[in-house]
Structure 1
Amino acid sequence: MTHDGPISNFQRHPLTASCRERSHPTRDDTVTTHHPYQPSAHNNHWTTSFTLYRTTVLQHHRAYCTVSNLRSVRYCSDMVTLSELIAKLREIFEDDKVDVDEVIRTMESYKSNEDEWRRFAAFDEHKYTRNLVDVGNGKYNLMLLCWGPGMGSSIHDHTDSHCFVKMLDGTLLETRYDWPDEEDKEAPLRKISENRYERNGVSYMNDKLGLHRMENPSHSDSAVSMHLYIPAYETCNAFDERTGRKTKCQVTFYTKYGSKVDYRASKSGNLVDYGSLVKNAPPIQSH
Structure 2
Amino acid sequence: MSTLDTQTTRPRVPLEGRGEERFSLSSLVETLAGLDRRPELPEVNGWMLRVSVGQDELRPHVGFKEGTYARHRVFLCDHAELLVLCWRPGQRTPIHDHAGSFGAVRVLSGFMWETLFEMGEASGLRYKSSREWTPGHVTGADIPDIHQLGNPDISGQDLITLHLYAPPLTSLNVYKVGRKESVNTLWMSSWNPTI
TM over 0.5: yes
User: What runs of 5+ residues in structure 2 fail to find an aligned partner?
Assistant: 7-11
- 2:41·2:103 contact (CA, 8 Å) conserved in 1? no
Aligned: 1:201 with 2:137: yes
Aligned: 1:76 with 2:26: no
Alignment partner of 1:238 out of 149, 174, 179: 174
SS of equivalent to 1:95: coil
Alignment CA distance shift 1:53-1:217 (3 Å): closer
User: What are the equivalent positions in structure 2 for 1:84-233 lying under 5 Å apart?
Assistant: 84-91=27-34, 93-96=35-38, 98-135=39-76, 137-179=77-119, 181=121, 184=122, 187=123, 189-208=125-144, 210-219=145-154, 220-233=156-169
Task: Measure how far apart 1:154 and its partner are.
Answer: 0.5
Q: Report the Cα distance in structure 2 between the residues aligned to 1:165 and 1:110, rounded to whole angstroms.
A: 11
- 2:69·2:91 contact (CA, 8 Å) conserved in 1? yes
SS of equivalent to 1:139: coil
Q: Report the Cα distance in structure 2 between the residues aligned to 1:250 and 1:95, rounded to whole angstroms.
A: 24
Deviation digits for residues 68-96 of structure 1, max 9, x if unmatched?
xxxxxxx421x3221112112333x3235
Task: Measure how far apart 1:112 and its partner are.
Answer: 3.2
Q: Which has the higher contact order (CA 8 A, sep 6+)?
A: 2
Alignment partner of 1:57 out of 14, 17, 39: 14
Task: Measure how far apart 1:146 and its partner are.
Answer: 0.9
Deviation digits for residues 148-182 of structure 1, max 9, x if unmatched?
0111110001111111111111111111111364x
Deviation digits for residues 98-137 of structure 1, max 9, x if unmatched?
34223222222222322211211121121111111110x3
Matching residue of 1:249:
186
Alignment CA distance shift 1:56-1:122 (3 Å): closer
Q: Indicate the percent of aligned positions where both proteins have the same amino acid.
A: 25
Aligned length: 184
Alignment CA distance shift 1:246-1:113 (3 Å): same
Amino acid at match of 1:215: G
Q: Report the Cα distance in structure 1 between the residues aligned to 2:116 and 2:61, rounded to whole angstroms.
A: 28
Q: Report the Cα distance in structure 1 between the residues aligned to 2:33 and 2:106, rounded to whole angstroms.
A: 17
